[in-house]
C-alpha cells in the first residue's frame, strides 16, 4: 500500500491532478466558514440541533455550512436540481434532444443552460432561506440581527447565490483538471468534514450517560455492515457471455475469443440518492417561500415530514425512478448491440441486432430493480435510526452511500492512471470498479 502511494507522486500528471483537487477542496472548506452578514450562526446551529427535521440532512449535504449560515449555506444542491431538470427536459423537449445528439458542442450548450437554471434556482432558494432565517428565534435571541432587517433579504439572496455559483465553478474545475467528479467530491468532503464532530458528539453522549455503550457498539457494527453491503452492491455484476468468431486473414487467425459483457447491478451509482434528496428538499423550500399559507405548511409539516410514512415511501420511489432513469441515460443497449454486430460478436443463443438489444435491456431492467430497492432502503435508514435511537445524521445510510460511492469512483480513477503507466494499483487481486457520478 505504501509503495502504491509513492507511485502516485511518481506520475507527474497524476500528482498535479491530486494536488489541484486538494487545493480547491481546501478553498471550499475555507468558504464554508465565512459567515453571512447579519446572521448569528450559533442561534441557527442550536435551532437545527434541537429539531429532527430535513434541515439536518440539508446541512449534511452543505458540509455544515447551512448550520453556520455561511456564504456556502445552499451548497451544491441548486446545481444538482438544475441538472435533474435539464435531463428530464432532455427526454421531452425536441431542441434539447437535438443538442444531446450534436456531441461536444451540444453538451457545452446544455451545460451553459444548466448554469443559468442554477442561478435561478439558487436565487429562489436563497429568497426562501432568507425568509426562514428571519423567523428563527431561539430562547428569545433572533437569528437575524434587528439592525439588518432592512437589507437582509436582498443581501442574503446575493450572497447565497454567488456562493452556489462559486461552488459550481469549483466542481467543474475539479472535474476538468483534477481527479474524480468535482460535484461528488464537494459533497463527499462536506460529509467527511463532519466526521470528527459526530464522533465527539457520540462520546459526549456516552460520557454524560445519555447514550448506552451497547447502542454505540451496535451502531458501529451496523455502519461496518452497511459499508460492506454498499461495496458489494456497487461492484456486483451480471456478466453476459459474448462470442467473437474466428477470422482468417492470409496466414493469420484473428478473433475466436470468448469474453463477457459486464452489466452492473448499480449502473447509476449514488446519483439517484443525490437526485432524490434534491427533489425532497423542494417542498421545504416552497414552505419557506409561503410561510403564511396553511395548506402548504400542513403538507410539508404533516404529510411530507422527514421520517414519516409518506415521506419514506415517496423518497424510496423517487430513488428507484432515478435509478432506472439515469441507467437509461448512461447505458444504451442499442449502441452495445450495434458495436457487437460491427465487430462480429454475438451472445450465444441470441440473434445479433435488435434481439441482442432487447435481451440486454431485459437483463439490465431486471438487475437494476434489486439494486435500486437496496439503495432506497439504505437511504431511508437514517430516519429509522433517528426515530429509534436519536443517531447522528452522519451515521445514516445516505451519508455512507455517498462517501463509499465517491471514494470507490475516485480510487478507480487513480488506479487507472497508475495501471496506464505500469504501476501496481491499490488492489493486487482484482481491480476497483467505481461508478461515475
pLDDT score, position 197: 76
Q: Is the pLDDT of residue 436 over 50?
A: no
The grid coordinates listed for 247 are 477470422
pTM: 0.76
The model's pLDDT over 358-391, given as tens digits with 9 standing for 90+, comes to: 888 888 888 888 888 888 888 776 655 554 445 5
The model's pLDDT over 85-107, given as tens digits with 9 standing for 90+, comes to: 888 788 778 888 888 777 778 88
Distance, CA of 362 to CA of 369 (rounded, Å) = 11
CA 418 to chain centroid:
26
pLDDT score, position 51: 63
The model's pLDDT over 61-85, given as tens digits with 9 standing for 90+, comes to: 777 788 888 889 888 888 888 888 8
Per mean pLDDT, which range of 112-116, 210-214, 317-321, 375-379 is the poorest? 210-214
Which H or E run includes 259? strand 258-264
pLDDT score, position 28: 92
The model's pLDDT over 117-166, given as tens digits with 9 standing for 90+, comes to: 999 999 988 888 888 888 887 777 787 877 777 788 889 899 999 999 99
- Concatenated DSSP letters for 60-87? HHTTTHHHHTBTTTTTTHHHHHHHHHHH
pLDDT score, position 159: 92
pLDDT score, position 279: 78
Average pLDDT over residues 314-343: 83
Q: Is the pLDDT of residue 256 over 70?
A: no
pLDDT score, position 117: 92
pLDDT score, position 163: 92
Q: Is the pLDDT of residue 305 over 70?
A: no
* Average pLDDT in the chain: 78
CATH number of 1-17+194-437: 1.10.3370.10
Which H or E run includes 243? strand 237-243
**70, 36 contact by CB (below 8 A):** yes
Q: Count of alpha carbons within 13 Å of 142, Cβ hemisphere only?
A: 12
Distance, CA of 237 to CA of 265 (rounded, Å) = 6
Average pLDDT over residues 417-424: 66
pLDDT score, position 160: 92
Torsional sign, CA 300, 302, 307, 309: negative
Query: Where does the chain hold its CATH 1.10.3370.10 domain(s)?
Result: 1-17+194-437
pLDDT score, position 348: 84
Q: Is the pLDDT of residue 192 over 80?
A: yes
The grid coordinates listed for 233 are 452492491
Q: Is the pLDDT of residue 24 over 90?
A: yes
The three-class DSSP label of residue 151 is coil
41-50 vs 54-61: helix crossing angle, rounded to 10? 130
The model's pLDDT over 276-285, given as tens digits with 9 standing for 90+, comes to: 877 777 776 6
Amino acid at each position: 500500500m505504501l509503495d502504491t502511494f509513492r507511485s502516485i507522486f511518481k506520475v507527474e500528471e497524476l500528482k498535479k491532478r491530486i494536488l489541484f483537487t486538494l487545493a480547491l477542496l481546501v478553498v471550499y472548506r475555507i468558504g464554508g466558514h465565512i459567515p453571512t452578514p447579519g446572521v448569528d450562526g450559533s442561534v441557527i446551529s442550536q435551532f437545527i440541533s434541537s429539531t429532527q427535521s430535513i434541515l439536518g440532512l440539508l446541512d449534511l449535504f452543505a458540509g455544515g455550512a447551512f448550520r453556520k449560515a455561511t456564504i456556502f449555506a445552499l451548497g451544491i444542491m441548486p446545481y444538482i436540481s438544475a441538472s435533474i431538470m435539464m435531463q428530464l427536459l432532455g427526454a421531452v423537449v425536441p431542441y434539447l434532444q437535438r443538442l444531446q445528439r450534436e456531441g461536444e458542442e451540444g453538451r457545452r450548450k446544455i451545460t451553459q443552460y444548466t448554469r443559468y437554471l442554477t442561478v435561478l434556482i439558487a436565487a429562489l432558494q436563497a429568497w426562501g432561506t432568507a425568509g426562514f432565517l428571519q423567523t428563527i428565534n431561539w430562547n428569545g435571541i433572533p437569528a437575524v440581527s434587528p439592525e439588518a432587517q432592512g437589507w437582509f433579504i436582498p443581501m442574503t439572496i446575493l450572497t447565497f447565490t454567488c456562493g452556489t455559483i462559486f461552488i459550481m465553478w469549483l466542481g467543474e474545475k475539479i472535474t476538468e483538471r483534477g481527479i474524480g467528479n468535482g460535484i461528488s467530491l464537494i459533497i463527499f468532503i462536506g460529509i467527511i468534514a463532519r466526521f470528527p464532530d459526530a464522533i465527539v458528539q457520540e462520546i459526549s453522549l456516552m460520557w454524560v450517560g445519555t447514550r448506552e455503550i451497547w447502542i454505540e457498539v451496535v451502531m458501529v457494527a451496523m455502519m461496518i455492515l452497511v459499508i460492506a453491503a454498499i461495496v458489494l452492491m456497487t461492484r456486483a455484476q451480471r456478466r453476459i457471455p459474448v462470442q467473437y468468431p474466428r477470422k482468417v486473414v492470409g496466414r493469420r487467425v484473428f478473433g475466436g475469443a470468448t469474453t463477457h459483457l459486464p452489466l452492473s447491478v448499480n449502473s447509476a451509482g449514488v446519483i439517484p440518492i443525490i437526485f432524490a434528496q434534491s427533489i425532497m428538499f423542494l417542498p421545504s423550500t416552497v414552505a419557506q417561500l409561503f410561510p403564511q399559507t396553511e395548506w402548504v405548511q400542513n403538507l410539508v409539516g404533516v404529510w411530507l415530514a422527514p421520517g414519516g410514512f409518506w415521506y419514506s415511501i415517496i423518497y424510496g420511489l423517487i430513488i428507484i425512478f432515478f435509478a432506472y432513469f439515469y441507467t437509461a441515460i448512461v447505458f444504451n443497449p442499442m449502441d452495445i448491440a450495434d458495436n457487437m454486430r460491427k465487430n462480429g460478436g454475438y451472445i450465444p443463443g441470441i440473434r445479433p441486432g435488435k434481439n441482442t438489444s432487447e435481451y440486454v435491456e431485459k437483463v439490465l431492467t431486471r438487475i437494476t430493480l434489486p439494486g435500486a430497492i437496496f439503495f432506497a432502503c439504505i437511504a431511508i435508514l437514517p430516519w429509522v435510526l433517528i426515530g429509534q435511537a436519536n443517531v447522528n445524521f452522519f451515521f445514516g445510510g445516505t451519508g455512507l452511500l455517498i462517501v463509499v460511492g465517491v471514494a470507490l469512483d475516485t480510487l478507480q480513477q487513480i488506479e487507472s492512471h497508475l495501471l496506464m503507466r505500469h504501476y501496481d494499483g491499490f488492489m493486487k487481486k482484482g481491480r476497483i470498479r467505481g461508478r461515475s457520478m
